[in-house]
Structure 1
Amino acid sequence: MENRKGGENKMQEIHTIMKHMDALIADPSAAAFKATLPFAELLEKLHNKKALFDAALAKSAERADAGRIIGKTSHIDALAYLLDISKSEAFRRTKRAEEHYGNPSPEPSSEELAKETPEEKLAREEKEKQDLAEQAEANRIAREHGISAEKQDTIRYELEKLNDNTSLSRASLRKLAMQEATSRTPEDLRNWTRNKVIRINPTAKDPLAAVKKRSLSIGRQDHDGGAKASLYLDAKGLALLKSLMSKAKPGHLLEDSLAEDKRTKPQRQYDAFADILHRAHSDLLPARSGVGTILVSLSAKDVTNLKASGPDHRYPTSTGIKLTPLEILRLGAAKYDFVTVLDSESGRPLHLARTQRTASLYQRLALFASELVCTREGCDSPFEDNEIHHIRSWLDGGPTDIENITNICPHDHGNNNDQRDGKDNMGHMNIDPTTGRVGYQPADRRKPMRFNNTAAAAESGGAQART
């Protein structure tokens, strides 16, 4: 009786929270804030608890090999698809699960184990035991105090910068950071953890530390057509770039070097950098990538309607970046013309056969014109990042003909069952016998094929031909 009454009380609490949420959403007044605040605090505690639930669910999904449910190998894909969350969010939950349920001590290599003395083995096992205890204590603090996902991710991010062989293990420092998280704000916790990592990292630095950190990441294109990029340079790259940027003085790259240069210093440096990229792009001509490695997709209708579409209309490219006519001209494009004719029903290129395994330049151009992005459903990976896939496996006698190839991203390529036997609930790319369109056939062939109907795929030449 008491359990049932307790359950009824919990349901009443949830109903009351929902009622106050609806009231605040309908009228976010000062009075509503005061009335809702106690319930908002309770809701936040529940939200923090969900961070631990998300980590546990991610770990259980990994152990259940949940990717097989949707015909893929990764449980991250399964979480994203089944919970309707982004892959980046699914990845964050998985990393949080590793912190909670993974091995807190780094795994020694087989070579290290072979050289290990009995004393060293005993010391290692004792350290692993201690680290497991520290991990359990950190997890207890996170559970009992409801440490938010934001704080947990902050701790994990800062601890990734911890070097090996420090005086304080990662597990021990994570426990201390969790204790601090109970009383510090997210910003203050970040500073506390970062300072702690800096202090205990060995003073003898890795001479290749900067080389290992080298990175370049490019964000999504924004409404203005540009994107932010993040770059970390090692000493060599830094010296080269600084040397090249030294040329970006007022007047550099202007037709009249004596004219007034109204560009800011960052703008001059960017123009110098873009000029370097443009020169390198003209000099590097990979054998199979074509003369100009940036391909632009325009239909015949687009060409005839350039004026009506206006100068701000953007056209998709093989890089995933959309360009206006002016930007295409600034690239120096249209020096070489290729035209691909697409079937109006399937949107597939017309016949172009080859007997070699590797797709020719012309077949790649035809696939780009037809497909633009990965053809696996839900994927918007641009053509330039993808691989050419034989719909009927090359090893199974599938020819490298335009009718038997498509483009899919490396991730989805690894999830394709070339044997087509339904093993592990893995499906395969195929051609719809009715429409001629390329799509994904689930392992259960009684289920209909699934096609890529993303916004990116809808801009492909094939999609335009079909409509």
Structure 2
Amino acid sequence: MLSSLVDDIANATNELSVLFSHPEHLDFADVRGDMERLYAALDKFAAIDAAFAFVADRDGAGSAVGANHATQYLVDVLGLSRAEALSRIKRGRDLFGEPEVPEPPREPEEDEARARTRRQEQERRRAAARRAREKARKRAAAINAEKQKIIQQCLRDLNEHACPAYDELHEQALAEASTRGPEDLRRWLREAVRRANLAGRDYDGEKDPCAAWKKRAILFGRTDADGLTRVTLQVPRAELALLKALIQPGYAPGTNASDSPADDARTRTQRGFDQLTAILRSYENGRQDARRGVASIVLSLTAEDLARADRDSLFPTNTGVDLSAGDIIRLGLSGTDFLLELDPVTALPLNLGRTRLASIEQKLAIFAAQGVCAWAGCDKPGMELEAHHVIAWKDGGPTNISNLVGLCREHHRCNNDNRDGHRNMGHVDINRATGRVEHHPAGTGPPRTNETTGYRSSAGATIRHRAAPNPARQPT
């Protein structure tokens, strides 16, 4: 039945695409009614998306692409962004999974009566959450994806012991979504979350003193065209007070600047940023003194890159943030504490030195050679990579840079060291002719290489591209 329904939708979509390929021939009054019916029907896809993501998550869909997580399947096969894949899985769990109810803390000398009361209260909350979740499923079928994402975003601010709890407020929000516009829904739900947090009590009937502390967070956004990135902090009151106290001295004219106070033309916000940078530098200087100067920001570039650089040239770093020459000078990254020679044709690192753990020098060599995670399609930056043995350590694989590649934590656990296709998981290997790291999927599929911008901008990729004598030598 599902197959025939999908066939009908696919055929209808193709016909609609043809019809709307020439909108100059259409009249709004003629198509308005039908299109409004279409969009009303498409609203149901938000619930279908969540249900399919739940099934994929529950049944281990990641194995279909040689990974451990359903997220990778949604990214590779459906073409979703990682954020959208995670969002759908979360909505699926919220609607179809078992409710998560905070477990009451156990006291060391708790008597049986008190323990029974706590268990009963937890079960009562779980039963209420199940009832709310059942109602939420029915309501979600009529709510579009935009409103469901707004609900998901706002509920992130809900405390663990809020009253009403997560599932009850989720169901209420879906009910309100049927009559409210997106922005009005956001305003209503933010106020509802605020009230629920104020009313929240833990299992002792007291307000949870750690509610704000549990939600502390720092989030890094994407870098924009000007090289700026929005950083979002969720700061509990005590730490906010400390942060403000530390930043406050930097607002004085002339602080952290070579200009005299009278000539300081920086805005107040710029001075605050410069004070934060000074604090971070002070911390880093102390840490590097303790570690004998091991760098925490690493650049990957060739001598030719440096010679050709202009003020607009950008160089990749292990943090995932590309830096210009001006950025490098401002950070003081002009030393030569570590230099690595790469093979001039394959760009494979030359051997540095049987221990299992990779040394700092080997990790730097991996970053220079590939820049980001070697798994096809992944752009996790160098600082998030783990050293992976191409020939497994248990099988006698040495810990030298000819046998090491960098994989992020997620994809490191997706690699099948036995190379036997078990659980439909593939493995990575180094193509010695091209110097490329290749992901070999389970079965008979062709090997895949990472073609992301981050991988192609590494020093190793640059050398391989320049050394290739003809297009046939370049990996596809």
TM-score scaled by length of structure 1: 0.87
| 1:347 and 2:347 correspond | yes
Alpha-carbon contact 2:101-2:122 (below 8 Å) kept: no
| 1:240 and 2:242 correspond | yes
**CA deviation after TM superposition for structure 1 residue 413, in Å:** 1.0
Match of 1:183 in 2: 179
How far apart in 1 are the matches of 2:292 and 2:450? Answer: 25
How far apart in 2 are the matches of 1:221 and 1:72? Answer: 28
Match of 1:139 in 2: 137
Match of 1:209 in 2: 211
Does the C-alpha gap of structure 1 residues 252 and 206 become closer, same or farther in structure 2, counting only changes over 3 Å? same
Alpha-carbon contact 2:102-2:160 (below 8 Å) kept: no
The amino acid across from 1:234 in the alignment is P
The amino acid across from 1:271 in the alignment is D
For residues 65-214 of structure 1, what are the structure 2 equivalents within 5 Å?
65-104=60-99, 106=101, 108=103, 128-143=126-141, 146-201=142-197, 202=199, 204-214=206-216
Task: Give the 3-state SS of the residue equivalent to 1:246 in structure 2.
Answer: helix
Does the C-alpha gap of structure 1 residues 235 and 418 become closer, same or farther in structure 2, counting only changes over 3 Å? same
Alpha-carbon contact 2:61-2:70 (below 8 Å) kept: yes
**CA deviation after TM superposition for structure 1 residue 165, in Å:** 5.0
| 1:254 and 2:253 correspond | no
- Which of 285, 294, 297 is matched with 1:294 structurally? 297
Task: Give the 3-state SS of the residue equivalent to 2:262 in structure 1.
Answer: coil
For residues 363-442 of structure 1, what are the structure 2 equivalents within 5 Å?
363-442=362-441
Measured on the aligned residues, the alpha-carbon RMSD in Å equals 3.1
Task: Give the 3-state SS of the residue equivalent to 2:314 in structure 1.
Answer: coil
Task: Give the 3-state SS of the residue equivalent to 2:414 in structure 1.
Answer: coil
Q: Deviations over 1:385-433 (max 9, x none)?
A: 1111111222322111111111111111111122323210111221225
Match of 1:461 in 2: 459
Alpha-carbon contact 2:74-2:80 (below 8 Å) kept: yes
For residues 328-343 of structure 1, what are the structure 2 equivalents within 5 Å?
328-343=328-343
Task: Give the 3-state SS of the residue equivalent to 2:411 in structure 1.
Answer: helix
Does the C-alpha gap of structure 1 residues 127 and 359 become closer, same or farther in structure 2, counting only changes over 3 Å? closer
Task: Give the 3-state SS of the residue equivalent to 1:380 in structure 2.
Answer: coil
The amino acid across from 1:139 in the alignment is R
Task: Give the 3-state SS of the residue equivalent to 2:233 in structure 1.
Answer: strand
- Which of 257, 277, 280 is matched with 1:277 structurally? 280
Gaps of 5+ in 2: 201-205, 466-476
Task: Give the 3-state SS of the residue equivalent to 2:445 in structure 1.
Answer: coil
Alpha-carbon contact 2:414-2:425 (below 8 Å) kept: yes
Alpha-carbon contact 1:21-1:36 (below 8 Å) kept: no
TM-score scaled by length of structure 2: 0.85
**CA deviation after TM superposition for structure 1 residue 123, in Å:** 6.8
Gaps of 5+ in 1: none
The amino acid across from 2:416 in the alignment is N
Does the C-alpha gap of structure 1 residues 371 and 287 become closer, same or farther in structure 2, counting only changes over 3 Å? farther
The amino acid across from 1:352 in the alignment is L
How far apart in 1 are the matches of 2:213 and 2:358? Answer: 35
Q: Percent sequence identity over matched residues? A: 36
How many residue pairs are counted as aligned between the two chains?
A: 452
Alpha-carbon contact 1:289-1:361 (below 8 Å) kept: no
How far apart in 1 are the matches of 2:10 and 2:441? Answer: 40
How far apart in 1 are the matches of 2:46 and 2:288? Answer: 49
- Which of 224, 228, 233 is matched with 1:222 structurally? 224
How far apart in 2 are the matches of 1:271 and 1:43? Answer: 53
Does the C-alpha gap of structure 1 residues 118 and 249 become closer, same or farther in structure 2, counting only changes over 3 Å? closer
